[in-house]
Amino acid sequence: MSSSSALPALSVLDLVPVRTAQTSAQAVASSLALVARTDELGYRRYWFAEHHNMPAVASTTPPVLIAAAAARSTRIRVGSGGVMLPNHSPLVVAEQFAALEALAPGRIDLGIGRAPGSDPVITQLLRMSGTTSDVERFPEHIRDILSLVSREGATVRYTSGGTYDVHATPAAEGAPEVWLLGSSDYSAQLAASLGLPYVFANHFSGEGLDRALDLYRGGYSPSPEHPEPQTFLTINAVAAPTAEEAEARAIPQLRMMARLRTGKALTALETVEQARAALVVEADAQAESIMASARSRWLVGTGPEVQAQVTEFASRYGVDEVMISPVAGAFDGEPMDAALARVQTLELLAA
């Protein structure tokens, strides 16, 4: 548990945001530069989310981004936050992350979730692989991956007798660390029963956090790799030299959250100026209520203010690590191939 005065370890969750007039290549380049900078700043880990067919999100393929991030860093752990397992074959996921572990030994995290990461149409396109997309088999598929990435591998048993050995990679020296992710009681209880590390997706909603942590910690079954429950928390944050700038840079992502929650068509992330102008033109009480509710759970302010909020947040929930989703937006005229505001947030928090 972190003390009331010590800043917890810091990590990063990245959705690779794409803003107005920015290309996917520029957005990815911005995120990879951010990986290199957080490696220098001493952040503990850097995770990429999996989302599909969203104009403002370029993190569609975590394994590809993780490989690129590993090549641009030397110390920080890199991983998925997370791979949405029902979209993929467990063997393919195991092979991808075994290869990543070989690429960056001892630095790979495999965070796994069971949500689709998109709308029903895209979910159908992603899950055209038959039984591998059976959400009800999620616990079984988690166990399969744990076996496949281990040095011993997995064993298939024929109904007619005999066995067949399967390995995610021919000669593993180590394995990625597997985490279960979620925002429900289900994921907390499954992680506890399997003796796995667990992360509640607090950055997305925050509702049910206390209950999820109680279920995970209270029902934890120790495993050889993890004798004690292990968890940290995610949270959206914006830090800037002044509180006024921080509040302004929070507006684009708050507007995006409101559009998502009200079912409006999604767009590339607005700049601060575009978002402010739209608030005047598109007066919407429901959207404003959603933005206000989300803002109340975000950490926004100067570097010292947000550091204090992070420390208090970690102490309140008894964690020694907080994963920051840096949601600071851009002003008009800022470079397209850099994420100045997101870098600024993470630099101020690490100061």
Q: Please list, in sequence order, all residues whose beta carbon lies within 8 angstroms of the beta carbon of residue 297, skipping any fewer than 6 positions away.
A: 202, 206, 235, 236
Whether residue 44 contacts residue 75, with contact meaning beta carbons closer than 8 Å, is answered with no
Structural domains in the chain plus CATH codes: 9-237+303-327 (3.20.20.30)
pTM of the entire structure? 0.93
User: Could you give the CA distance from residue 311 to residue 320 in angstroms, rounded to a whole number?
Assistant: 9
3-state secondary structure of 83: strand
Dump the DSSP string for 198-258.
EEE-TTTT-TTHHHHHHHHHHT----SS-SS--EEEEEEEEEESSHHHHHHHHHHHHHHHH
pLDDT surpasses 70 at 238: yes
Structure tokens at 303: 């570097």
Model confidence pLDDT, tens digit, residues 141-160: 999 999 999 999 998 888 77
Dump the DSSP string for 114-149.
-S-SS-HHHHHHHT-SGGGG-GGGHHHHHHHHHHHT
Partners of residue 323 on adjacent β-strands: 11, 234
**Which pLDDT score, from 0 to 100, does residue 44 have?**
98
Torsion of CA 149, 75, 38, 169, to 10 degrees: -20
The single-letter code of the amino acid at 348 is L
Q: Please list, in sequence order, all residues whose beta carbon lies within 8 angstroms of the beta carbon of residue 133, skipping any fewer than 6 positions away.
A: 86, 87, 126, 127
Weakest mean pLDDT among 39-48, 149-158, 207-216, 263-272: 149-158
3-state secondary structure of 297: helix
Q: Residue 68 — φ and ψ, nearest 5°?
A: -65, -40
Q: Please list, in sequence order, all residues whose beta carbon lies within 8 angstroms of the beta carbon of residue 76, skipping any fewer than 6 positions away.
A: 35, 38, 39, 43, 44, 45, 46, 107
Model confidence pLDDT, tens digit, residues 118-132: 667 777 676 665 545
Whether residue 99 contacts residue 128, with contact meaning beta carbons closer than 8 Å, is answered with no
| C-alpha closest to that of 73 among 27, 110, 38 | 38
Burial of 6 (0-12, 13-18, 19+ CB in 10 A): exposed
Total count of residues recorded for the chain = 351
pLDDT surpasses 60 at 210: yes
**Which pLDDT score, from 0 to 100, does residue 342 have?**
98
pLDDT surpasses 70 at 27: yes
| Residue 82: cis peptide before it, omega within 30 degrees of 0 | yes
Model confidence pLDDT, tens digit, residues 296-314: 999 999 999 999 999 999 9
Beta strands in the chain (DSSP E): 9-14, 45-48, 77-84, 108-113, 154-157, 163-166, 177-182, 198-200, 231-240, 299-302, 321-326
**Which pLDDT score, from 0 to 100, does residue 230 have?**
98
